[in-house]
Amino acid sequence: MSELKAISGNCFVVRDEQEAEFGGIDLSDSVQVKSSYGTIAAIDSECTFASVGDRVHIPHYGVMDVEWDKKEYAMCKADRLFYVNGEPVNEYTLVRKCTEDHVRDESGEIALFMTKNFIENTNWVEVVEVAKDSRYMKDEYVGLYCPLPENDEKLARVGHSKDFCVHESLIQMLTEG
């Protein structure tokens, strides 16, 4: 067979094996989902932030599963990739949902009281890491806090954690906590 080539800004990712257990509990076939992680098998040569062999988090939106040469691939536009080799890329910022403390204003006064119920529903996050190719976000913003929209195709949870990657265009304001 011929070699798989990605064109028109696309990439092909081989997904990791499906998770058959989570937190020590075996998952039945009906609740198992395809892995959100994989390895790039082919990518358009125009992509500057990822290459073949890189480990990626597969985007939640705009992904189509395709079969070629008896193998299954997740196909998406390369510009939808946001987390490559454990780092945010493509103007994305890694943020962590606030769960441990109150959000404070410049004077140290509590600006947002974090009750147990509010923690579960909060959209406040702390900036953890900024992509090297970001236009507006800077490394000096790490440790600052910002609110995020509840749902957007440029906002994605990273694995089963409190971490999210968000495109810098969704960050409207930053404040010290």
Band of residue 105 on the pLDDT scale cut at 50, 70, 90: low
Instruction: Say which CATH topology domain 10-81 has.
Output: 10 Kd Chaperonin, Protein Cpn10; Chain O (2.30.33)
Once rounded to an integer, what is the mean pLDDT over residues 41-45? Answer: 93
Residue 117 is predicted with a pLDDT of: 52
User: What is d(CA 51, CA 40) in angstroms, rounded to the nearest whole number?
Assistant: 7
Using the predicted structure, report yes or no on whether residue 20 has a pLDDT greater than 50.
Answer: yes
Using the predicted structure, report yes or no on whether residue 108 has a pLDDT greater than 60.
Answer: no
pTM beyond 0.85, yes or no: no
Same fold, 10-81 and 87-170: yes
Copy the structure tokens of residue 107: 């004077």
DSSP string, the chain: -PPP---TTEEEEEEPPPPSEETTEEPPTTT----SEEEEEEE-TT-SS--TT-EEEPPSSS-EEEEETTEEEEEEEGGG--EETTEE-TTEEEEEE--SS-EE-TTS-EEE---HHHHHH--EEEEEEE-TT-SS--GGGTT-EEE--S--TTEEE-TTSSEEEEEGGG----B--
Instruction: Say which CATH topology domain 87-170 has.
Output: 10 Kd Chaperonin, Protein Cpn10; Chain O (2.30.33)
Report domain extents, the chain.
Answer: 10-81, 87-170
User: What is d(CA 121, CA 136) in angstroms, rounded to the nearest whole number?
Assistant: 27
Please tell me the least confidently modeled range out of 20-34, 46-60, 151-165. Answer: 20-34
Number of neighbouring beta carbons within 10 Å of residue 90: 21
